[in-house]
A and B are shown apart, each in its own frame.
Chain A
Amino acid sequence: QKEVEQNSGPLSVPEGAIASLNCTYSDRVSQSFFWYRQYSGKSPELIMSIYSNGDKEDGRFTAQLNKASQYVSLLIRDSQPSDSATYLCAVNPFGGSNYKLTFGKGTLLTVNP
């Protein structure tokens, strides 16, 4: 069974620190990787997508992908209390056509003022 694993947390960091969120996946043919942020009681909101090995930066967010290690991470620099949410890692398990996503259970991040 194709799986996506995340540490459930909670991960607690002080305001201004770097938060590091990790995700591993089991299906080697996976091609598309996504990080969604989900506030309590709300729906997932896309934060980052990454398709190639290496780093991708967008503002305070950096996604890192290592396909050989089947590992994807999200770094949040200068963490703010408004970043407190559950972060969901999602993977396209079939490669090529993103017609469904497999999600991890999410990591709860708390940023303390």
Chain B
Amino acid sequence: DTGVSQDPRHKITKRGQNVTFRCDPISEHNRLYWYRQTLGQGPEFLTYFQNEAQLEKSRLLSDRFSAERPKGSFSTLEIQRTEQGDSAMYLCASSLDVLPQETQYFGPGTRLLVL
């Protein structure tokens, strides 16, 4: 399978616990994005990487959130001290920066439930 993969696919945690999600992009893609989607809403941008550099973070990304892409390949998104409002689908997407027709492809998502 050469698509974007995410792990885990589902995560249930208790409020206050830390969670970490992993994303493996399509192998030749140099851009990687994290989005969050709640029920009835479209995905909302969280952050994005060009190779290993994190170039933008949304205001949605509070201090409890951190993302890394240490070698420009896979990425991790960590949420510390989870809150019930963090419950959502966390989507990873990747793309190749070939303008103007750059297209983002999404992974299957990680569904987080904070109890």
Measured in the bound complex, the distance between the Cα atoms of B47 and A100 in whole Å is 8
Measured in the bound complex, the distance between the Cα atoms of B39 and A8 in whole Å is 13
Measured in the bound complex, the distance between the Cα atoms of B56 and A67 in whole Å is 27
Measured in the bound complex, the distance between the Cα atoms of B107 and A36 in whole Å is 13
Instruction: Give chain A residues whose Cβ lies under 8 Å from the Cβ of B108.
Output: 42-43
Tell me the A47-95 residues at the B interface (CB within 8 Å). Answer: 49, 51, 88, 90
B41 contact from A90, A97, A101, A105, Cβ within 8 A: A105
Q: Are B31 and A43 in contact (CB under 8 A)?
A: no
B100 at the interface (CB under 8 A from A): yes
Report if A99-B48 is in contact (Cβ < 8 Å); known contacts: A44-B106, A106-B42: yes
Number of interface residues of A (CB under 8 A): 26
Instruction: Give chain A residues whose Cβ lies under 8 Å from the Cβ of B105.
Output: 46
Q: What's the least CB distance linking A6 to chain B, in Å?
A: 8
Q: Is the interface of A mostly helix, strand, loop or mixed?
A: loop
Q: Number of residue pairs across A and B with beta carbons under 8 Å?
A: 63
Q: Are A99 and B42 in contact (CB under 8 A)?
A: no
B97 contact from A45, A97, A106, Cβ within 8 A: A97
Q: What is the interface residue range for chain B against chain A?
A: 20 to 34
Q: Are A100 and B42 in contact (CB under 8 A)?
A: no
Q: Are A43 and B106 in contact (CB under 8 A)?
A: yes
Measured in the bound complex, the distance between the Cα atoms of B103 and A97 in whole Å is 10
Interface residues of A (CB under 8 A from B): 4, 8, 31-32, 34, 36, 42-46, 49, 51, 88, 90, 96-106
A34-B103, A34-B104, A100-B56 known; 12 new pairs, CB 8 Å cut-off, are: A43-B106, A43-B107, A43-B108, A45-B106, A88-B42, A88-B43, A97-B97, A98-B99, A99-B31, A99-B48, A101-B104, A103-B44
